[in-house]
Amino acid sequence: MARKLLALRQRILTPDKREALLDVRGFHVKNDAARQALESAGQSFIGGFGDAAGTPSPRAAEELLERRPAPLRGFAYEGAAMAYALMDGLRPGGGRGLARFLAGRGAAHVYMAHVGAGWAMPRLPRWRWPAILPADPLLRWLALDGYGFHQAYFHTGRYVHDRHRDPAHIWPAELRHYAPHAVDQGIGRALWFVAGTDPTELLRLLRGFPADRHSDLWSGVGLAASYAGGAELTELRTLREAAGEHRAALGQGGAFAAKARMRAGHVPTHTAVAVGAFCVTSIEQAAAITDAALTDLTDSASLPAFAVWRQRIADHLVLLGRC
């Protein structure tokens, strides 16, 4: 594709980096360090989106993505995945951009990339959603997590303050039974951003949701707090105590973050600290638990394999006395 057309596509599709500023979003600001952590994550996401939209192929985009700081690279890959999913969805006959991206260096960030694909869903008509849902029957649920994050991040009043829940009929039939849980995990991740990593504000927001949604929300909180950072050890321990009966869900989210960081080849200090606070275990142990939970993993009579995976991890942490 000609350079001018690529530049035009990048300019038209890429969100403004100001959209990641907490003041623009109307999110709570705890302190400058937390603001920096969250805004850097959001702006890296947008930068990665631009890398994908402004280059002719996933391989060319990878050259730019790999130059980004290691702690933020996963967010950039997440943004690039959103761009490829969106571009696939906008093509009348569909596309293979996301699949090619996941077959390359995107494989090291496969969890974040699947989440990023879900960001594209609200930007497309619903009838196009099946065309961009990742094919992996296990990880495609992370796209619904990404959808939930997007909605809570950009439509905070409706999805966070009003606790809106989408009706089941918007989802493809095979996803309807578990979609609300995967979406709520994404909303839980977004709460970490909306609350500005402040435990007091996060608890105020989370406790406003119906009790039957808390477990999935806590799982998302654990993932975001561990992956994105922005909180001190004492604050993380406060969250663990406040989670109460949902400590295993919080720990499961932390274990997901540990595995994602380990697979990408870089574990920031804040991830190790959070996983230790939530799971009372090491990064290596937490990641190993997620791998062990994949053994002979299949759908159960009432739950998809993804839900069984999450439950196995939580149960394992409980058995070890970690939660």
How does pLDDT run across 125-144, given as a tens digit for each residue? Answer: 999 999 999 999 999 999 99
Which positions ≥6 away from 27 have C-beta within 8 Å? 38, 156, 193, 194, 195, 196
Residue range 23-27: average pLDDT? 97
Nearest-angstrom CA–CA distance, 120 and 85: 6
Residue listed under structure tokens 């100001």: 18
pLDDT digit string (tens) for 33-42?
Answer: 999 999 999 9
Nearest-angstrom CA–CA distance, 320 and 288: 13
pLDDT digit string (tens) for 305-315?
Answer: 999 999 999 99
Lowest mean pLDDT among 97-101, 205-209, 316-320: 316-320
Task: Write down the pTM of the prediction.
Answer: 0.96
pLDDT score recorded for residue 322: 72
Nearest-angstrom CA–CA distance, 132 and 20: 24
Nearest-angstrom CA–CA distance, 61 and 52: 5
pLDDT digit string (tens) for 136-188?
Answer: 999 999 999 999 999 999 999 999 999 999 998 999 999 999 999 999 999 99
List the Cα angle 317/322/323 in 5-degree steps.
Answer: 85
pLDDT digit string (tens) for 280-290?
Answer: 899 999 999 99
pLDDT digit string (tens) for 222-281?
Answer: 999 999 999 999 999 999 999 999 999 999 999 999 999 999 999 999 999 999 999 889
Which positions ≥6 away from 3 have C-beta within 8 Å? none
Chain length of the chain: 323
Residue range 56-71: average pLDDT? 97
Given a contact cutoff of 8 angstroms between Cβ atoms, the answer to whether 185 and 219 are in contact is yes
In the predicted structure, residue 1 carries a pLDDT above the cut 80: no
**CB neighbourhood size of 298 (10 A):** 7
Report DSSP state, residue 164: -
pLDDT score recorded for residue 123: 96
Which positions ≥6 away from 98 have C-beta within 8 Å? 81, 84, 85, 88, 113, 117, 132, 134
pLDDT score recorded for residue 3: 85
- Up-side HSE of residue 142: CA atoms within 13 Å toward CB? 25
